[in-house]
A = this chain, B = another copy of it.
């Protein structure tokens, strides 16, 4: 409950703070919130034994505007050496989608976005194929395709990515089965703001055609992993994972179809949490405040 005047509109703020752990942080932060006339409606924190860092995510309702909130927090941020994000709850994240020919992840993202279940705003879907033009157009989202056939066209594609990121002030890049390895330069440029989806198996199969390998070994579970893009291919910090049960009667191509469903829902879930500022990185791990 907030001690605001009866007719003063309430704002909803999401605040995430990361700093070296030490006593008194919560007290200092909550003091700043009180001074900015805020009420904490949601709060999660975590102290990492691995890195000695402290993570907190708050949702706060307050009649205060951004300046008042920020002013109240600034001394605390300075004192504890915090990395801070202050944002409006529910603000759509400016998101660039990279795709190739497979439509399942793109369709799932666009459908949920339109249904109001995914707080993203997508100014562009960029693909190295034209296959998904109609699908994307149905959702009234701009679509652009640039073929990748060699090193030069790949560089051009990546240059276009960077250009779009800058032009639209992109906050998140989603690789929705983009199927191309990003250059180390682009990985570095997008560090911490690009999410990829890939299939997962127990046990893990590396190399070409993992579904065929999984089939050959007779796996009983297949799944998907959404993770941050890093230069170490498919080894970035894990955001979300799901699996589904399969049996011996499934062909390798059926495994692919089943895997696609898991990819769609796992990627959309990861994007949703990221857009809600629920995903924080702690070295090679993620803290998910869900």
Contacts and interface: CB of A to CB of B under 8 A. Distances in A.
B45 A43 contact: yes
Name the residue among A45, A203, A243 with the largest chain B CB count within 10 angstroms: A203
Contacts of A34: 23-24, 27
Interface string A14-55: 000000011110110011011001111111111101101000
30 contacts: A1-B21, A1-B22, A22-B39, A24-B30, A26-B26, A26-B40, A27-B30, A31-B31, A42-B45, A49-B251, A103-B115, A117-B257, A201-B202, A201-B204, A202-B202, A202-B223, A203-B204, A203-B225, A204-B205, A215-B285, A218-B237, A218-B282, A218-B284, A218-B285, A218-B286, A219-B241, A220-B239, A220-B288, A221-B241, A221-B242
Contacts of A2: 23
Contacts of A261: 265
A189 to B, nearest CB: 23
Interface string A248-270: 11010000010001000100000
Nearest to A257: B117
A41 B54 CA distance: 9
A1 B20 CA distance: 10
Q: Chain copies in the assembly?
A: 4
A1 B225 CA distance: 33
Contacts of A257: 117
A27 to B, nearest CB: 4
A188 interface: no
Contacts of A241: 202, 219-221
Interface of A: 1-3, 21-24, 26-27, 30-31, 33-34, 37-47, 49-50, 52, 103-104, 107, 111, 115, 117, 138, 200-205, 215-221, 223, 225, 234-235, 237-243, 247-249, 251, 257, 261, 265, 282-288
A135 to B, nearest CB: 8
Given A34-B23, A38-B23, A111-B107, A285 B248 contact: yes
Contacts of A216: 50, 283-285
Output the residue of A22, A47, A248, A286 with the most chain B CB within 10 A.
Answer: A248
A286 B248 contact: yes
A249 B29 CA distance: 22
Contacts of A37: 23
Contacts of A237: 217-218
A242 to B, nearest CB: 8
